Structure 1
Amino acid sequence: MSSPLHDVRPTFELTGRNYIVTGGAQGIGFTISRAICEMGGNVSIWDIQNEPVDKKEFDALSSKFGSKTLYIQTDVTKQESLEAAFQKTLDTFKTIDGCVPAAGIAIDKPFVDQTWEEFTRIQEINVRGTFFTAQMVAKELLKQKKRGSILLIASQSAHIALPGYRMAAYNASKGGVMMLAKVLGVELAPHGIRVNTISPGFVDSDMTRTVREAKASKREGEQMWLAPPNQRLSTQNDLTGAAIYFLSDASMHTTAADIAITGGLHAGTIDGLISYEK
């Protein structure tokens, strides 16, 4: 006999659940934090910046959605900073249901010119910060014998190398993040802890604007929105549906999975602009 059908809408709710989001002062991290609050969850944002970029919008999350929010200045490359932020989060929320390590940086620079220091900085933030944030949350979930969901932020750069965008260190870091999610998705599944990724494409953000403006030619910058089959940049709003799916009970049987949100670019192009720099 087949299982009875359940209503779908309630499975997306996050009411009463507590999440950690790194890199949440702005951009993708803040967007996902806001979505968590909208769906009834509480969020502790960790970021290297002293305060959220739009403090008024951050402060409005509690009044608008009735959520508990916490902001902690944190350096994800420093063990003592991560541990202090985690303890402060536990002191406030008491329990944890998952996390979204979204802190990340990128540089666009020829492979042969990327320095030891640049490579190390990217891996420290994008990979090590992600690894140990997820580890702390997994340890706490195991300790409390709770199910949970960990959402890692990969990238289209974990799927493809786009001509004209020389981001070897960043691509390597995001490939590592995607593989980490697969490994943890398998290892932690018996404990009811799911680990998944989303892979954003070119998102219209401060980081991508900086990369675009640094391009030597207008043609190279334009392929950010002309190369994807959908022929536009992603917006942060394109990411929230997939993020909530993975954090919520709607994805209870989904782990070690990735949703590519690239406008189709991870699969190929139709007639988009592709530029090679010599």
Structure 2
Amino acid sequence: MTHPAPVDVPTRDLFRLDGRTILLSGGAGAVGLCVGKAILESGGDIVLLDVAQSPNAAQWEDIEETAKINNTKAFYYQADVTEAETIPPLFDRIREDVRFPLRGLVACAGISGEGDAVDYDINVFRKILDVNVTGTFLVAQAVGRDMHRANVTGSIVLIASMSGWVSNRGINTSAYNASKSALHQLTRSLAAEWGHPQNTFPGSTPSDTNPNPSMEPRKAYPPIRVNSLSPGHIETPISEAARKRGLTDEWARQNMLGRVSQVQEFRAPCLFLLGEGSSYMTGADLRVDGGHCAW
């Protein structure tokens, strides 16, 4: 049986996230903090994960003040998303601390590295894929398990990039581009698995990942929607080096709006994908790039 459409949700509530906890990996970064604050303002509680031991003090104070004003809650945990063995016990802690089940994920954790392909350090290449792809999968997997455990619907947003659609003109970032293209495919694959039990044939062929496959029908769970969001170039504190090289001005000339985006411009797209306003959207990529890829 399919999950019913939320046709009775008032229009004013299509972007609301009341009674939900949303997890953000890379939560101490510019996008994570900005989107996290927007979630608090929309009625949701947030869990921020980041490799940093603690968030910036002034920014965290702003987050806590926002939570207080909106009667919401914010939690922060230090975590390396690539350390698979630490993820389950971390989620056990989170489950004990939060007041509402996890109903959403915004996977922001990611790194890049410029370098010519013929000289690219293979260890750096592997690290970028490990953080951007494997780390994203591990967090999405843990969130999916938690949603199944709580028997709730949910929405997962993987922060990809327009660089998963096109190569970055004038800057050599083959590992980053490959990783973001992989997130587009990971989005489609998870959306297919978690949208409806009939999306997967019964049983499976024996393999290293599934040595003793069952032929029983898979257990039915409420649907988890999975979409990706592909930003264009974003003005953030870490783009200072790009500004000094004149790259920011060049990037602005490469899109239809003639400017680089601001982190605040990704609040509404994330809220849309997390909330009931996008209830019939899954397996899709929402490209917010100022028309960069359409030119």
Pair in the same fold by TM > 0.5: yes
Shift, 1:256, TM fit? 0.7
What is the one-letter code of the residue matched to 1:16? Answer: G
Shift, 1:40, TM fit? 0.3
Counterpart check, 1:32 vs 2:59: no
Contact (CA 8 Å) 2:64, 2:73: kept in 1 or not? no
Q: Residue 22 of structure 2 corresponds to which residue in structure 1? A: 19
Shift, 1:206, TM fit? 2.6
Shift, 1:229, TM fit? 0.9
Structure 1 portions without partners, runs of 5+: 269-278
Contact (CA 8 Å) 2:225, 2:283: kept in 1 or not? yes
Count of aligned pairs between the two proteins: 262
Describe the SS at the equivalent of 2:112.
coil
Q: Residue 75 of structure 1 corresponds to which residue in structure 2? A: 80
Runs of 4+ aligned residues of structure 1 deviating over 4 Å after TM superposition are 3-6
Describe the SS at the equivalent of 2:72.
coil
* TM-score where L is the length of structure 2: 0.84
Shift, 1:143, TM fit? 2.0
What is the one-letter code of the residue matched to 1:131? Answer: F
Contact (CA 8 Å) 1:150, 1:196: kept in 2 or not? yes
Shift, 1:84, TM fit? 3.0
Distance 2:236 2:92 in 1: 31
Q: Residue 180 of structure 1 corresponds to which residue in structure 2? A: 186
2:282 to 255, 259, 268: 255
Counterpart check, 1:142 vs 2:148: yes
Distance 2:163 2:193 in 1: 25
Q: Residue 167 of structure 1 corresponds to which residue in structure 2? A: 173
Shift, 1:176, TM fit? 0.5
Identity fraction in percent: 29
What is the one-letter code of the residue matched to 2:172? Answer: R
Contact (CA 8 Å) 2:21, 2:102: kept in 1 or not? yes
Q: Residue 232 of structure 2 corresponds to which residue in structure 1? A: 201
Shift, 1:163, TM fit? 1.8
Shift, 1:5, TM fit? 7.6
Further displaced range: 118-127 or 202-211: 202-211
Shift, 1:209, TM fit? 2.8
Shift, 1:243, TM fit? 0.4
Q: Residue 223 of structure 2 corresponds to which residue in structure 1? A: 192
Instruction: Give the 3 Å change call, closer, same or farther, for CA 256–4 of structure 1 in structure 2.
Output: closer
Q: Residue 276 of structure 1 corresponds to which residue in structure 2? A: none
Residues 161-208 of structure 1: per-residue CA shift (max 9 Å, x gap): 122111100000000111100111121111411000110000001333
Taking only aligned residues, the RMSD between alpha carbons, in angstroms, comes to 1.7
Instruction: Give the 3 Å change call, closer, same or farther, for CA 206–117 of structure 1 in structure 2.
Output: farther
* TM-score where L is the length of structure 1: 0.89
Describe the SS at the equivalent of 2:144.
helix
Shift, 1:4, TM fit? 7.3
Describe the SS at the equivalent of 2:24.
strand
Contact (CA 8 Å) 1:202, 1:234: kept in 2 or not? yes
Q: Residue 99 of structure 1 corresponds to which residue in structure 2? A: 105
Distance 1:144 1:249 in 2: 19
Residues 6-62 of structure 1: per-residue CA shift (max 9 Å, x gap): 631112110110111011112111111111111000011000112112232233232
